[in-house]
Amino acid sequence: MMDDNPRICVHGLGYVGLPTAAILANSGFDVYGFDVDPQHRRDLKNQDFTFEEPDLERFVSGALEDGLTIVGDPRPAEFHVICVPTPYDENLDRTDLTYVEAAGETVASLLRPDDTVILSSTVPPGTSAEKLREIVEREGFSASEDVVLGYSPETVLPGNTLRELRENDRLVGTVGGRQPDRIVALYDSFVSGDIRTTDATTAEFVKLVQNAYRDVNIAFANEVAKLADEFEIDSRGSIALANNHPRVDILRPGPGVGGHCIPIDPLFLNHGNDIPMLIETARRVNDGMVGFVEQLLEAALGELAGSTVTILGVAYKGGVADTRKSPCFALIDRLARTEVDEIRLTDPYVNGEVRGRELVALEESLEASDASVILTDHPEYGALDPEVFADRMAGRTVVDTRAMVDEDRWAAAGFDVHQV
């Protein structure tokens, strides 16, 4: 059971921590929101939000007025929720748990008997039961008797964060055989989906397996697209026909994957072991799709040297402004290493600069361009008019990595369309 009116301290106010703190505050709890970045704390106090997420600004503003307090130092609380980053260190080929360890040490210094600690960051299996437990128990608290130490991952999709935090099923795991009742009761206060319980290591493993499953299946679709190109076959038409089988459901190919989860989380499964993995192959396939896009572009133009290329879509997925791990970055870097004369960027959701290049409006980006590459499946791109492109572009090449345009219609307008 959960005590009446418990206080909650959320550590880390990023893409997951901030909406989590806001939902808890709007559910009637007294919430302390702590982030190590003082400028970020100042921005939040001034209600100056850097996240572009539907309804988040309004929702957080409401929480700040009643229930959520941004603090410069973490406070004692009955619940501590850790939502800090866990980047992957490619040089060391392992997960960087520095932020988790630092947050764990901070929380451990504030603990009192019967407090509850919930790790929500994506971590390698065993992090809660081993590393975090060791940190807590160094302060003299037993994770099997004195405090409740648990793990509960988020499974949200950018653009739907608030809704999915409320509606998605939740998994809760604990350490040391402790009952998960307190954590379940906390999430039950705002989660409408099912809440399932297990041990912390299994919960950590399941989160990684979910994203690895998606990565592997996307990689298969991308391999199909590359093979179809070799045979000069329509990849998406072939996939649609294959999916008529009752036990086949091939995903859509594309220029790779982006966001924080799929390009990174599967690698956490290889943390501390040397098991050969299909997952690693899938990572290479998906990361390599940008190279395939470059090949299609070069084959269409004859050569890249001296050309002007317009990239439509900087966000990693359609309908959002989230650019984390976007395939656009890799394509810009690859094209920049060639003798391409100019790379132009446009995106209806993203503003500012990317790789030192200013984003411009679509029409401006097309002026005298030799080729256009559609990288993101923004809904607006489903209504692109080939006549608008024909009026402005110097060339007639379109590489469509998301099957957003009607090939026949664009061919009738004089365009050479290459779809992934």
Q: Mind telling me the catalytic residues? A: 207, 261
CB 226 within 8 A of CB 292: yes
CA atoms within 13 A on the CB side of 367: 5
Strands 416-419 and 397-400: parallel
CA atoms within 13 A on the CB side of 365: 21
61 Cα distance to chain centroid? 24
> Hey, what amino acid is at 333?
D
- Consecutive H or E run containing 408: helix 407-412
Residue in the structure block whose two tokens are 């997925």: 317
Best CA proximity match to 180, nearest among 116, 123, 137: 116
CA angle (16 as vertex; 207, 3 as ends), nearest 5? 90
* 140 CB burial (10 A radius; 0-12, 13-18, 19+): exposed
